[in-house]
Amino acid sequence: MITDSPQAALAFAEAALAQGHRLTSVFFYGEAVRAANALIPAVGDEPHIGHQWRDFAKAQGLELAVCVAAAERRGILDEEQAQAHDLACAMAAPFRQAGLGELVTASAQSNRTVQW
C-alpha cells in the first residue's frame, strides 16, 4: 500500500523482486493516487512516476489499484466517473479504481503487507 511516496515504494518493490520476493498487488491511497493522474505531462528530463509505475506493472504483470474515494477527491476520475460528471478522464492505464475492500482482501491473501 502506497500512501505518500510512489518513488520510494517503486525502488523498494524493484529491490524486493531482485531479492526473490513476489509482489502480488499494489494499492495507491491518499496522496499517492496522484501517480495515476493521466493529465500530468512528463516534463523535461524529470522522471514521471506514473509512467515508471506503468512500465513496472507491465513488466511484472501487476495491476495497479487506486482507491476510488482518494482519487475522486483529487479529481482523478476513470472513464465512467468522468462521463457521469461531464469531466475529463484523468485515470491513466493500467491504473484502475478499487475500493478498500480489495486492499483488505489482498492483505488477507498475502503473508505481509508493506506500507509506504
List pLDDT tens digits, range 5-42. 999 999 999 999 999 999 989 999 999 999 999 999 88
Of 67, 68, 90, 106, the catalytic one is 67
Per-residue pLDDT band for 45 (boundaries 50, 70, 90) equals: confident
> Could you list the residue range(s) of the whole structural domain that residue 21 is in?
6-108
| 89 is an active site residue | no
The verdict on whether omega for the bond into residue 94 sits within 30 degrees of 0, i.e. cis, is yes
Mean pLDDT of the chain: 94
Alpha helices in 1-116 (DSSP H): 6-18, 49-60, 68-73, 79-85, 100-108
Q: In 10 A of CB 27, how many CB atoms?
A: 23
Q: Is residue 89 part of a domain?
A: yes
The answer to whether residues 65 and 28 touch, using CB atoms and an 8 Å cutoff, is yes
The mean per-residue pLDDT over the stretch 55-65 comes to 95
What pLDDT does residue 24 have?
85
Q: What is the CATH number of the domain that holds 24?
A: 3.40.1260.10
Report whether pLDDT(43) > 90: no
Q: Is residue 57 part of a domain?
A: yes
- The whole-model pTM stands at 0.92
Question: Measured between alpha carbons, how far is residue 48 from residues 27, 56, 94, 111 in Å?
Answer: 18, 12, 15, 31
